[in-house]
Amino acid sequence: MDQRTRAVHVVNQRFPEGSWPLSVPLVQSSAFAFSSADALAAAMAGPDGQYVYSRRGNPTVRALEQTLAGLEGGAGAIAFASGMGAISGVLLALLRPGDRVVAQRCLYGGTYAVLSDLAARHGIHVTYVSGDDVGEFERAAQHPATRLLVLETVANPTGQVPDLPGLLAAARVLGVTSLVDNSLASPVLCRPIELGADVVVHSTTKYLAGHSDVLGGAAVFADDGLRRRVWPRTVELGACADPFAAWLTLRGVPTLPLRMREHCANATVLAERLAGDGRVRAVHYPWLAGHPSYAVARKVLSGGGGLLSFELAGGREAGRAFIERVRVARIALSLGGVETLVTHPASTSHRELDAAALAQAGIAPGLVRMSVGIEGVEDLWEDVERALS
């Protein structure tokens, strides 16, 4: 089935009267009543029974979980209060003291922080690899305690796309569970489970919801047994999705394919024009032929995505000046909404790093990150040109 059809026809409950609402109802109740003690006890047995308490399950939240599982081609999903809730919940459920993790070197800062905390407090050993070399991963994963491979479909802000087919196949052979953060690609551009991933996580705040008005996360599982293994820990952590947040996300999902088409089209035009501008040292966008991940991106993605970054020749001051001169775009840290957002990582998200640390992270002092929205592309280019002048 076409992803546009899947997105429009979100999962909804049927009603016994023979008709039902076209939109998913918002069930805001925190608890649910039963006719007998036995019925309540039976409902407590697992994640898919009758609703008991909204931390354990909710009709609106379950509709979102089933919708996202369908979009990603998974057996089931768990919705969380945030993307970091999804990542933390899965890591804490799957890892034990002494386990080893192999992770892509260019990771979202929040994921890196959680892995560092697990390493310091629980004796989890983390090895970082490039993500481009299957042999490097295989050597790092030889230890019998290696349990997990952590990857991102598209890295932020460099646009790196790891060798997902090769790495996921190698992990499967070695018996290592694989987790892929698909937030920047969305299931419209990539479905990592079809490439061999065991778990796909999302910050649903980003492209899935798409309107900068909701905080949420999700984990989608290739195998339902793994979902059932993770679910009890998520109930204990209390990182469950709020019904209203789930409802808002479900409102955004039907337009996801249309929005992603515009995000990709606008970002590609801007990236190509910036690449030909002498005031720009480098452009990082995986759909450009000169990008290091270009070949694998063309193999695993159906579009370049809506996030790009570019380096200005004037260094840190040039980057700061650029984001303060834009008028259509907004200065903000998030991404994936319908509006264009810009940040200067060296003075915001990575401001505590010195020059050497920034270089190691692949972030030049004059790097600008742009989450390209769905505005008219000529308006965006005029805004960029004015800020560059």
| 63-82 mean pLDDT | 97
pLDDT digits (tens, 9 = 90+) for 308-323: 999 998 888 899 999 9
| 12-20 mean pLDDT | 71
pLDDT digits (tens, 9 = 90+) for 160-193: 999 999 999 999 999 999 999 999 999 999 999 9
CA dist., res. 167 & res. 12, Å (int): 36
> What band does 16 get if pLDDT is binned at 50, 70 and 90?
low
Structure token pair of residue 311:
């380096």
Whether residue 15 has pLDDT greater than 80? no
Whether residue 336 has pLDDT greater than 70? yes
Please pick, among 55, 273, 316, 325, the residue that the annotation labels catalytic. Answer: 55
Higher pLDDT, 12 or 104: 104
Higher pLDDT, 15 or 282: 282
Residue 256's nearest CA partner among 186, 175, 343 is 186
Whether residue 104 has pLDDT greater than 70? yes
pLDDT at 347: 80
Model-level pTM?
0.94
Whether residue 349 has pLDDT greater than 80? no
Would you say 56 and 235 are in contact if contact means Cβ atoms under 8 Å apart? yes
Residue 143's nearest CA partner among 124, 165, 117, 119 is 124
Whether residue 353 has pLDDT greater than 70? no
pLDDT digits (tens, 9 = 90+) for 205-231: 999 999 999 999 999 999 999 999 999
Higher pLDDT, 10 or 261: 261
DSSP state at residue 105 = S
| 276-285 mean pLDDT | 94
Please pick, among 6, 206, 227, 259, the residue that the annotation labels catalytic. Answer: 206
Please pick, among 56, 99, 100, 108, the residue that the annotation labels catalytic. Answer: 108
Cα–Cα separations (whole angstroms), residue 150 to 7, 127, 141, 176, 231: 27, 10, 12, 10, 19
Neighbour tally for 133: CB within 10 Å: 15
Please pick, among 163, 181, 198, 242, the residue that the annotation labels catalytic. Answer: 181
pLDDT at 247: 97
Q: What is the mean pLDDT of the chain?
A: 93
**Of 18-32, 64-78, 223-237, which gets the smallest average pLDDT?**
18-32
pLDDT at 191: 98
What are the b/e assignments for 308-336, b being 16+ CB within 10 Å?
bbbbbeebbebbbebbeebebbbebeebb
CA dist., res. 177 & res. 110, Å (int): 20
Whether residue 352 has pLDDT greater than 60? no
> What band does 14 get if pLDDT is binned at 50, 70 and 90?
low
- What percent of the chain is modeled with pLDDT above 90? 81
181 is catalytic: yes
pLDDT at 224: 96
pLDDT at 389: 87
Whether residue 127 has pLDDT greater than 90? yes
pLDDT at 324: 95
228, exposed or middle or buried, with CB in 10 Å at 0-12, 13-18, 19+? middle
299 is catalytic: no
Whether residue 132 has pLDDT greater than 90? yes
Ordered domains of the chain (ranges, CATH): 3-254 (3.40.640.10), 256-388 (3.90.1150.10)
Alpha helical stretches, state H, 123-219:
134-140, 164-174, 186-189
207: left (phi over 0), alpha (psi -120 to 50) or beta: alpha
Higher pLDDT, 12 or 224: 224
The DSSP-derived string for 244-291 is HHHHHHHHHGGGHHHHHHHHHHHHHHHHHHHHT-TTEEEEE-TTSTTS
55 is catalytic: yes
Q: How far from chain centre, in Å, is Cα 53?
A: 27
> What band does 76 get if pLDDT is binned at 50, 70 and 90?
very high
> What band does 350 get if pLDDT is binned at 50, 70 and 90?
low
Cα–Cα separations (whole angstroms), residue 67 to 3, 7, 82: 11, 8, 17
